[in-house]
A = this chain, B = another copy of it.
């Protein structure tokens, strides 16, 4: 079980290698929501998302022997880019298995951060088999994007910073996908401030965490037909029990609300965030009663978005 102490240790370990990201406010969005909103800007984080926290924590914990054989992953998204950056910084190599049809922006994100692309056919089974082959041939260590206690502890450092910087927070809203960020947030926040409420925001179109909570067991996604490319993963066996135990509520959000709130953040705050984090604002705006007059922390988890394909166009 990950503890607050693990998160504190992770924070000491990764501190030299990550940004302590700023927390922004916006008076027009406060007015619109009826709450005081505090946006934790992980879109300004290294490699463009909070994922560098867990990735750096895990990479730093690898032994020299493990590390010398390289690191591998099938994540072509923010985890792949962050892992590549963390590994490059320590002086190693990351092999990222991704299908031929991966969008160019994701390929570039991985390459720019020093990752090496291993191509495969576009089907999950090929990704897994190619990854296995890489591991067999090189002895590389696979770093899972969320179902790993080192990752969960690293992601928890984000909420720790939020509570340190804004002690008056009444609640935090975190997007939920595989559950790494949400479980880390829960462990950090609930142990640092026992009155705080923690909510997960999840796309209606990929609501496995909501369903799993409802039925008391892990239920796979029925669809992943969401614009939030960072929120299509399935809740993990290590993250789900933490969420089940500690979360106040997981609330599903429609695609339209996610896109509307994305445009709102861009226009009013002048910052670039992904749909995978505008979902938190969308959830607050659709549940105003729940947040009325509260001090609400929202994790703006990342800013990696294809600027040639904006969802409102």
**Residues on A close to B: CB < 8 A?**
22, 24, 43-44, 48, 263, 266-267, 269-273, 303, 307-308, 310, 312-313
A-B contact pairs, 22 of them (CB 8 A): A22-B22, A24-B44, A43-B270, A44-B269, A44-B270, A48-B270, A263-B307, A266-B272, A266-B307, A267-B307, A270-B271, A270-B272, A270-B273, A270-B303, A271-B271, A271-B272, A272-B272, A307-B310, A307-B312, A308-B312, A308-B313, A310-B310
A89 to chain B, nearest CB (A): 12
Contacts of A44 in B (CB 8 A): 24, 269-270
For the complex, give the distance between the alpha carbons of A102 and B310 in Å.
24
Chain B residue nearest in CB terms to A267: B307
- Given A24-B44, A44-B270, A271-B271, 16 more A-B residue pairs with CB atoms under 8 Å apart are A22-B22, A43-B270, A44-B269, A48-B270, A266-B272, A266-B307, A267-B307, A270-B271, A270-B273, A270-B303, A271-B272, A272-B272, A307-B310, A307-B312, A308-B312, A310-B310
Chain B residue nearest in CB terms to A24: B44
For the complex, give the distance between the alpha carbons of A247 and B243 in Å.
60
Chain B residue nearest in CB terms to A274: B270
For the complex, give the distance between the alpha carbons of A51 and B263 in Å.
23
A58 to chain B, nearest CB (A): 23
For the complex, give the distance between the alpha carbons of A312 and B310 in Å.
12
For the complex, give the distance between the alpha carbons of A22 and B44 in Å.
13
Q: Which 9 A-B pairs have the closest CB atoms?
A: A270-B303, A270-B272, A43-B270, A44-B270, A271-B271, A266-B307, A266-B272, A270-B271, A308-B313
Contacts of A310 in B (CB 8 A): 307, 310
Chain B residue nearest in CB terms to A48: B270
For the complex, give the distance between the alpha carbons of A144 and B270 in Å.
26
For the complex, give the distance between the alpha carbons of A130 and B273 in Å.
42
A278 to chain B, nearest CB (A): 13
Contacts of A272 in B (CB 8 A): 266, 270-272
Contacts of A22 in B (CB 8 A): 22
Chain B residue nearest in CB terms to A273: B270
Chain B residue nearest in CB terms to A263: B307
A110 to chain B, nearest CB (A): 15
For the complex, give the distance between the alpha carbons of A227 and B267 in Å.
19
For the complex, give the distance between the alpha carbons of A313 and B309 in Å.
9
A179 to chain B, nearest CB (A): 25
For the complex, give the distance between the alpha carbons of A137 and B111 in Å.
64
For the complex, give the distance between the alpha carbons of A174 and B252 in Å.
46
Chain B residue nearest in CB terms to A44: B270
Contacts of A312 in B (CB 8 A): 307-308
A59 to chain B, nearest CB (A): 19
For the complex, give the distance between the alpha carbons of A43 and B26 in Å.
13
A51 to chain B, nearest CB (A): 15
For the complex, give the distance between the alpha carbons of A24 and B270 in Å.
14
A291 to chain B, nearest CB (A): 24
Chain B residue nearest in CB terms to A26: B44
